[in-house]
Amino acid sequence: MIELGLVLLLPLLGSALLALLGHRAVAPHLNVAASAATFIASCALTLRVFAGGPLLAFDAQFFIDPFNVFLVALTAFIGMTTAGFSRPYMRIEQAHGRVDAARLRLYHSMYQLFMFTMLLALTTNNMGLLWVAMEAATLSTVLLVSLYRTKASLEAAWKYFILCGVGIALALFGTVLLYLAAERVLGASGMDALLWTRLDAARARLEPGIVGLAFVFLLVGYGTKVGLVPLHSWLPDAHAEGPTPVSAVLSGLLLNVALYAVVRAKVLVTGAVHAAWPGAMLMGFGLLTVVVAAFLLWRQKDVKRLFAYSSIEHMGIITFAFGMGGPIANFAALLHMTGHALTKSAIFYSTGHAAQKAGSQRIDRIEGLRERSPALGWALMLGALAIVGVPPFGVFASEFLILTQAMQVQPWATPILLLALGVAFGAIFLRVQGMVFGAGSLRRLPHQPWMLPAFVHMGLVLMLGLWVPDFLATWWHMAAAMIGGGA
C-alpha cells in the first residue's frame, strides 16, 4: 500500500536528512518540503479509504478507517503549516541569539521525527506499537521543549519527561493486561494478540475484569499526555518554555493523538464489560478538566501558558463528549477535535510572533498589536474569538452540539459546562483585547511575520461553522458509529 508507506516513510527520511543538513540555510525549506509531501501522501491515502472503505496493510499491522484517516490528514496538514510558520519564526530566534546552528539541526530533525511518531500512532493496528509510538513522541518532544537550554526550559522538559514517562509506564501496564485478555480468548501470541481489529471482533468474549482494569491504566496513562486534570501539570510548562512551533504541534496534534488512543481503548472495553462506567470515567475526568482549567485561566500572566490551559479546557470538553457517546456526541467531539487543533495552532502562530515583537511572553507587555502589526493583531483576535466559541466559527458549532446533547442525556452536567465556558470566555477575551487594542510600543522584527498559515486555519474553522463538506460529514458519521457508546 504505497500511500500509507509514503505517509510513514517521508517524515522518517526527512528526519534523517535534516539530522545531517538541519543547520544549513536550506533546512527550513527541506522541512516544509518533507511536510508538504507527507500531506499530499495523506490526501492520497484519504481518497483511497473514502473510495474503498477501511484498509488493512502490511500483514494487518496497520489499519486505516474513517476514524483515523481524517486525523492523519489533519495531522499532516497542521504539520505542514507549522513547518511553514517555523521558517520565519526560527530565523528570528536565530537572529536574537536564542538558537545556534546545532540547535537548529536538532529542531528540524526532531520535528520530522515527531511527525513520524504521530502518524505511526494513528495508523498502526497494534496496541503495542501504538504505545511505542507514543513513547517515541515523548522522547522527541522532550528534546524540542528543551531546545533553548535555559534553566526554565530544561526544568520544563524534565518535568514533561518524568510525568509523561510515568503516564506512559501505566499505559504499558494497561497494554500488558490487554495482551493477557487477548491471549486467553484469541489463542494468539506475539504481536498478533494486540491487533486492534482482532480485539474489536472478539471484544464480547474478552474477560471483563482484565479488560476493565486495562482501560483504567490506559486512561490514566494516555490521559497524562491528553492533559486531563489532575495529570496536566506538565503541559503549561512545556508550552511556555519550548519554541512556539512546538507549542502549536503539542496542542494541535499530540493531545488529539493521545485522546485517539484512549477512545480506541474505550471501544474495546465498552464491548467487553457491557456497562456504562467507562463512559462515566471519561465524563468525570473531562468535566473536572474543563472546570479546573477554566478557573486557572484567570491566574495566567504568560500568554503561552494562558493558551496552554485553554488547550487543557478543550481536551476536557472533547473527553466529556466521547464519554457521553452516541452518534451526536461523538460527531461533535470529532468536529471539536478538528476545530480546536486548527484554531489553537493558529493562535500559537500569532502569540509566537507577538512575543518576539514584545521581547516577552508576559501578557501585560504585549500591547498594540493591531496598530503595529495589523495582520498579527487580527489573527490573534480572530483566533481568540474562535477558541472561546463565538459564532459562526466551528468551535461554537461543536460546543453547541455537545451542550444540547448533554441537556438530553446528562442534564446535571450542563450548568457546570456552561459555567466553565463562561469563565474561560471572560479570561481569554479580556486579556486578548488588551494585547490587540491596547496602546504600547513593540519592536520591529528582523524578518516580517508570516501570518498566512494562521489565516488559512481560521478560514477553515469558519467554514466548519457554516458548512461541513459532505465527504467530511460522512467520515465523521461513520467514525461516530464505530466509536458507539452512549446511554
Q: What are phi and psi of 432, to 5 degrees?
A: -70, -35
What is the per-residue pLDDT for 486?
53
What is the per-residue pLDDT for 487?
45
What is the per-residue pLDDT for 6?
94
Contact 383, 459 (CB under 8 A): no
Q: What are phi and psi of 238, to 5 degrees?
A: -65, -40
What is the per-residue pLDDT for 190?
63
Cβ neighbourhood burial of 187 (10 Å; 0-12, 13-18, 19+): exposed
Domain boundaries, the chain: 283-487
Residue 302's nearest CA partner among 381, 221, 386, 241 is 241
Element (H, E) at 50: helix 27-52
- Single-letter amino acid code for the residue at 302: D
What is the per-residue pLDDT for 441?
65
- Tell me the C-alpha distance between 310 and 254, whole Å: 15
- C-beta neighbour count of 29 within 10 angstroms: 12
Count of all residues that appear for the chain in the document: 487
Tell me the pLDDT tens digit for each residue of 163-189: 988 999 999 999 999 999 888 877 766
Residue 297's nearest CA partner among 124, 450, 426 is 426
What is the per-residue pLDDT for 379?
92
DSSP three-state, residue 280: helix
Q: Which residues of the chain have pLDDT under 70?
A: 188-191, 440-448, 485-487
